[in-house]
Chain A
């Protein structure tokens, strides 16, 4: 395997131009939303709305303005180009029953659409709500971190197109060092809210081993619609099996005891009451009686 590659997205540098969205759609030949007849969402300048099978980059516009502050002095816009996180321990990869999702030689997580059969389990398993069905081929799809470009030694399309270097691509060790320096610089400049989401020891993503596409944020994760503590879907699997087998065991014993009791009673004393069949009598040539 080559060294792990990933994205470092510095949200403080994003200007919301959506060049990343366009570059991603163009390179990956993703269809326009609703055949190009998209409607306005009414949610700031965000008409992409979400990451899914046909939107692999999504610029979020988070408006933080107090409606009672007419001069808008304390308000700000948080902009964030969201993407698949290529989790170190990926829920989608873990649950995929067909082997369509694999970890590449670049340590990224890729869905092979020629293998996916559209069971949608990965959609339910992704803690970041990233994956969706692409109506063009009816398979689950998401960012591949431009696997084809990486194999050709190219930078992913979104990072290539980003005009402010908000999206940076490279070896993870290098990106993390650069990101730490950037946080320090922001702290020195007075932006003490800056922190990294998706690196070791961040207090958020430890349960999934961190993210290969990590972010510099200036507000809690939930402000950016990121889970505070993402987990793996398998976290409750063993407990689930145990609770199921426990329930089955009790039910089996109860059922068997009830049946055995009835058997003993029947053997000990013939049924005292006659069994009444209140259905119409079966005529000759009709349905056969039960044995």
Chain B
């Protein structure tokens, strides 16, 4: 592998911001699904997740489009520009990822509309408050499909980096593992944050926050796994130097250690503390994305 590449990919702030935003959307949707699977139906926290996921996916799509050198040709990812047929290359991670993003955005859009209808904001024929998708048996199946797509979206951006010849990313298969764990903890944190800011805490939000402590534990294991995988990789040593190292260390402190310590010293029954803890997780998750995407490009 060439370790002194001269042509930069220029995957910078738009890219790691997109990965963060799409990850939060995926994590939030998975959190809602887990709540539904644990027998809570569509709780207020799950509805918040459904209201959050689609706007974030729309933002992620916008960021990806703006990042293209020719944004007006964004549709070439999905449609063959010369023949009008679908453009899908499953062996190309970016091609597959474009379809995953499209499919997940579609699922989150339906859940988003369903959540608005559930709140009584409007109705579409028989689709009205009290008779929503997520209050029916079909809703659970829809959620499971959506969660699967969300997880695939969260993994895909990590596989995208590792399926390249760029030193520091190339063949580093621990990136997808840490990426999906980051998506889950930040997604849950975002839902808890909104719930903590908007109203009295409900038991499901507290349950979600407690569950996130376990997920944070798993995330820390994955970060450690990632760091260990750098050993013996001269091209990846950049992660253990200056800015990338600082970003990763800070991410571990903000999203890992501080929320756990906060939980130990201050039982999370106050919305203010919950908001602070969730913000720390979000900030840490963002820093980790920054470190992994920008680290090798800062060489």
Contact = CB atoms under 8 A, between A and B. Distances in A.
Contacts of A176: none
B180 A291 contact: no
Given A49-B6, A119-B94, A124-B9, A277 B77 contact: no
B39 A263 contact: yes
A138 B71 CA distance: 10
B141 interface: no
Contacts, number: 265
A244 B162 CA distance: 11
B69 to A, nearest CB: 2
Contacts of B206: 262, 275
Contacts of B154: 244, 248
A138 B70 contact: yes
Contacts of A266: 203, 207
A125 B35 contact: no
Contact of A123 (B7, B98, B179, B202): B7
A255 to B, nearest CB: 5
B207 A115 contact: no
Contact of A99 (B80, B155, B166): B80
Contact of A287 (B159, B174, B198): B198
A254 B214 contact: yes
Contacts of A123: 7-9
B87 A97 contact: yes
Given A255-B34, A259-B34, A277-B201, A98 B76 contact: yes
A269 interface: no
Contacts of A40: none
Contact of B35 (A51, A117, A119, A259): A259
A289 B200 contact: yes
B242 interface: no
Interface stretch (A156-164, A179-187, A193-201, A228-236): A228-236
Contacts of A234: 91, 163
A166 interface: no
Given A251-B215, A251-B218, A259-B34, 13 more contacts: A99-B80, A115-B76, A116-B73, A124-B165, A129-B7, A138-B69, A240-B162, A244-B180, A247-B176, A252-B30, A256-B37, A275-B269, A276-B271
